[in-house]
Amino acid sequence: MNLNKSIVINWHVTERCNYGCKHCFAKWGKQAEIWNNSADVERIIANISKHFRSQSYSQIRLNIVGGEPIMFPERLWNVVETAYKHNMETSIITNGSHLENIRPFAHLISQVGISVDSLDHQTNLNIGRESEGKTISFEQLHQKIEDIRKVNPDIKIKLNTVVNTFNYNEILVDRFAQLHIDKWKIFRQMPFNGNGGISDYKFYAFIRNNYNEELLQKNVPVHQDPIEALYMTDFVSDEKKDDETSNKQVIFIEDNKAMTESYLMISPDGRFFQNGSKEYSYSRPLTEVSLEEALSDIKFDSTKFEERYEQWSITIAVNEANAFFHVNDDDIGDFDCFCELSDD
């Protein structure tokens, strides 16, 4: 029996968001949000904890997603505290615009995932990652991350990027290397609700231009030129020298296949839902049936869940990108830019 089994449950607590991304799939039709009711929050979290502990999961992480959950800090604080009380880890996915709101309870949070599709103002406007014409600059993002680290120095910082039709030719890895992140997840825009997703060309071009573990491992100071750092073979920042995780994989890539039926997701009204088809399928509400009964209503592929974190699945994605552009083994490692090519 594997005593180190871990599971992540993604609870989309709200649909509301101050941004309007064109690729957003956080759409459930403005259902009632059960995080407004503390008794329901307690019941769902207690059931999750009891069920997965009985299945020998030693690590249970509640990943709180939206919409934009940090727009409602008091309700979010209650969910985080309840999960903490039940000995579960918590993480939050946010667009970063209100990150400062979590400072009072950041000590209870193990990871913050910030969605950053672009560092270019116009590209963010095109994507819809804006509120009243305001987007987040690199400097603001850096400051927000540093401010949270001051409250909780152990907090892990993850960045999420959805490769879409507006950002596929952008190089982000050099600036991300200056943020000293723990993880960077690269997703392919999912076909959903009338949008057709993106072409292989666009997805692979982004991977080819941004898959650079070596640069992320260098932990480049914000004042140093990242590309210069890349060619300084002995460069490792002082902070990183003693860090036993310095060779940990940072980049994770999820193509559409890996994203299907590999997440355990709860909708704002408290039902498991799945993304196996063009529309969501739902379980019965967790406030009305047991967690076991609700789980039996949906498809969840635990093998795919585990594979998402495997090195070989990332290698396959990178090899597919190289094969797509007919890159020879000898060329792999060169940091070529494919931005100039057209999407035929």
**Residue among 47 and 164 whose Cβ is closer to ligand SF4:** 164
By C-beta, is 131 or 224 nearer to ligand SF4?
Answer: 131
Stretch that binds ligand SF4, among 20-28, 48-56, 206-214, 222-230 (CB under 6 A): 20-28
Nearer to ligand SF4, 162 or 177 (CB): 162
20 near ligand SF4 (CB under 6 A): yes
Among 7, 13, 21, 321, binds ligand SF4 (CB under 6 A): 21
Closer residue to ligand SF4 (CB): 27 or 299: 27
Rounded Cα gap, residues 144 and 97, in angstroms: 9
Q: How far is the CB of 12 from ligand SF4 (least distance, A)?
A: 9
Number of residues that bind ligand SF4 (CB under 6 A): 11
Q: How far is CA 233 from CA 158, 214, 215, 228, 229, in A?
A: 25, 10, 11, 10, 8
In 139-242 the beta strands, taken as DSSP E runs, fall at: 156-163, 183-188
Select the residue interacting with ligand SF4 from 11, 19, 105, 338 (CB under 6 A): 19
Q: Residue from 33, 68, 170, 261 that binds ligand SF4 (CB under 6 A)?
A: 68
* Region binding ligand SF4 by CB under 6 A among candidate stretches 42-50, 60-68, 286-294, 324-332: 60-68
List the structure tokens of 196: 């057709």
- List, as own/partner pairs, every contact residues 26-30 make where C-beta atoms lie below 8 angstroms and the sequence separation is at least 24, other chains included: 26/65, 26/66, 26/67, 27/193, 28/267, 28/268, 28/269, 28/273, 28/280
Report which DSSP code applies to 308.
T
Q: Do residues 122 and 135 lie in contact, with contact meaning Cβ atoms separated by under 8 Å?
A: no
Q: Does residue 26 touch ligand SF4 according to CB under 6 A?
A: yes
Between the alpha carbon of residue 290 and those of residues 54, 55, 180, 326, the distances in Å are 14, 15, 41, 51
Shortest distance (Å) from residue 17 CB to ligand SF4? 3
Q: Does 116 bind ligand SF4 (CB under 6 A)?
A: no
3-state secondary structure of 197: coil
The residue type at 73: P
Interface contacts to ligand SF4, rule CB under 6 A: 17, 19-21, 24, 26, 66-68, 95, 115
